[in-house]
Amino acid sequence: MKICLKTFASIADVCGFKERTISVADGSTPRSVLELLIGEYPKLSHQKDMILVAVNEVYADLDTMLFDGDELALFPPVSGG
């Protein structure tokens, strides 16, 4: 199945893209997509426990089931004052 993967801020810097359509296996989750990305971009591994995800513009759990055509967005940790 195909999903639209969006990356933001430092994640986009590491991956070198802000948006890309990727093919993933049926039954994939944000967690499995993140593991694939870490395999391709090992520098993401230090952020993996803090990355926020959204599926179809709604914040989601790493174990949310993805479906064909979904949009998955990955955000770095947010801080501010």
DSSP 30-59: HHHHHHHHHHH-GGGGGTTTT-EEEETTEE
pLDDT band, residue 25 (cuts 50/70/90): very high
Residue range 2-75, CATH number: 3.10.20.30
Q: Where are the domains of the chain?
A: 2-75
Mean pLDDT of 46-53: 90
Tell me the residue type at 68: D
For residue 81, the model assigns a pLDDT of 58
